[in-house]
Amino acid sequence: MSVANCIFCEIISGKSPANFYHKNEKFVVFENNLHWYKLQLLLVPVRHMTQNEMWSSDDLIKDLCLFANEVGQRECPEGYRIFSNFGDHGMQSQPHGHLQILGGTHLGLYVNGRPPSSPYKDIQR
Each residue's pLDDT expressed in tens, for the chain with a length of 125 residues: 567 789 999 999 999 999 999 999 999 999 998 888 899 999 999 999 999 999 999 999 999 999 999 999 999 999 999 999 888 888 889 999 999 999 998 887 765 555 445 444 554 44
Residue 118 lies in a domain: no
- Residues 6 or more apart from 107 whose CB is under 8 A from it? 37, 79, 80, 81
Residue 16 lies in a domain: yes
> pTM for the whole thing?
0.82
**How many C-beta atoms surround the C-beta of residue 98 within 10 A?**
24
Residue 113 lies in a domain: no
CATH code of 86's domain: 3.30.428.10
Residue 41 lies in a domain: yes
Residue 121 lies in a domain: no
Question: Rounded to an integer, what distance in angstroms lies between the CA atom of residue 97 and that of residue 12?
Answer: 13
Residue numbers of the domain that contains 12: 7-103
Overall domain count for the chain: 1
Secondary structure letter of residue 16 according to DSSP: S
Sheet holding 80-83, edge to edge: 20-23, 27-31, 39-45, 99-103, 80-83
Question: Chain-centre distance of CA 15, in angstroms?
Answer: 21
Residue 48 lies in a domain: yes
